[in-house]
Amino acid sequence: MASLEQFYRRERRKILAWIRYRVADPEEAEDLLQESFVSALGEMNAAGEIENVIAYTYAVLRNKVKDWYRKRKSGQYRQSALGEEFLLDSYLPDTAPNPEKEFYRTLLLEELAIAIDELPADQKFAFVQNSFEGKTFQELSLETGIPEGTLSARKTYAKEFLNRRLKDLKSLFLENF
């Protein structure tokens, strides 16, 4: 425990800078730093001694930052809009609401948010502006100078990509139900 405490005091600024490079919000970065060290401390108490404290702490930090991004991305897009756009319940088994189904629904939303961020910029723009911001293709065309048909086609390509991603997840879910 003393080695982790010494490491924290000695490396805190450097580690915080590493987190801040990935997470812009200083309060979120500080929270992630503290959560990571609490997690490392808990592991040390449970397992006894950690062989390489620095490597372990950075591994915990990487995982905490990834979790933070996942949570942030899934909340970035309105869940109701995603549910309407893709009829998410059709990708889940036909069962009554239960914790397992809710878990898979949340997982679907998180994966969709990640997939939306992977779209090419032009497709992502058309999809997000039309589906989440509620702008018509006519409005977008007037704002950007891009023809309505082009914007519509970009949204279609985006939906096809996202539907393929959902179908992959559906087959994975069906194996587990």
Torsions phi, psi of 6, nearest 5? Answer: -65, -45
Average pLDDT over residues 126-153: 89
Greatest C-alpha distance within the chain = 64
How far apart CA 35 and CA 172 sit, in angstroms, is 32
CATH number of the domain bearing residue 170: 1.10.10.10
Residue 145's pLDDT is 92
Residue whose structure tokens are 């949340």:
106
110 and 56 in one domain? Answer: no
Decide if 170 is inside a domain: yes
Torsion 83-104-67-34 (CA) sign:
positive
CATH number at residue 60: 1.10.1740
Both 19 and 72 in a single domain? yes
11, amino acid identity: E
151 pLDDT above the threshold of 90: yes
1 and 48 fall within a common domain: yes
Residue 8: inside a domain, yes or no?
Answer: yes
Structural domains of the chain, count: 2
Give yes or no: residues 5 and 64 share one domain.
yes
**Is 11 contained in some domain?**
yes
With cut-offs at 50, 70 and 90, classify the pLDDT of residue 2: low
DSSP letter assigned to residue 6: H
Region 128-151: mean pLDDT is 88
State residue 60's pLDDT score. Answer: 81
Residue at 84 is within a domain: no
Q: Is the pLDDT of residue 177 over 80?
A: no
Alpha-carbon distance of 28 to 13, in angstroms, equals 15
Question: 134 lies in which domain range?
Answer: 97-176
Residue 134's SS3 state is: coil
Tell whether 6 and 70 lie within a shared domain: yes
